[in-house]
Amino acid sequence: MDVKLQSQIFLAFFRVGMLGYGGGPAAIPLVQKEVVELYEWMDDEEFGDLLALSNTLPGPVLTKLSGYIGYRVGGFFGMLGALFASVIPTVVLMIILIGFLTSFSDSPIVQGMTHAIAPVVGVMMLVLTYNFLKTSRNQMGWTGMLALTGLAILITEIADVHPAILIGILLIIGFSSIRHRKQEAGQT
């Protein structure tokens, strides 16, 4: 067991757990920063695939990401460290913050703090969306990326189809595409 690697896994997800106030939307860009940019355990494309798969499964996205990445990078103990590091800070902070917020909930400072977090999370999600669109454009070109984005908006917003149905359909298409590519590679 590589102690340095295990401590890096713990530290990466501990920072995410400490700073990921607001749940999945706030934590996803932080995980991406740690895993892709800082430690380079995976690239943007693999992270995007993992994020897409994680969003299709039930439960909090941070625990799914930390469990998978921890296991992939550091095995069983990496998974345990990543899960523990991402969950424990949230539990401790929630206990402290709930006590603090309930005693000062009428304070304009506390109300301002809670209102100020939403735009910050929004900007972080915008940056992550921009990075994913850039990756999609590089892989599919402008036409494919814009067509798929427009189709997703049309289906979810205008046709009022639940996003889970769209995600399920895209998962099936993605898996069949991967299987088709593997079969073609095996035939050559």
pLDDT confidence of residue 13: 95
Judged against a pLDDT cut of 90, whether residue 8 lies above it is answered with: yes
Delimit the domains of the chain by residue range. 3-187
Residue 188: pLDDT band (50, 70, 90) is: low
| Structural contact between residues 84 and 70, judged by C-beta atoms closer than 8 angstroms | no
> What are the pLDDT digits (tens) for 21-73?
667 778 899 999 999 999 999 999 899 889 988 888 888 889 999 999 999 99
Q: What is the mean pLDDT of residues 147-170?
A: 87
Return the percentage of the chain with pLDDT > 70, whole number.
98
Q: What six digits make up the tokens of 17? A: 């757990």
Residue 164's pLDDT is 84
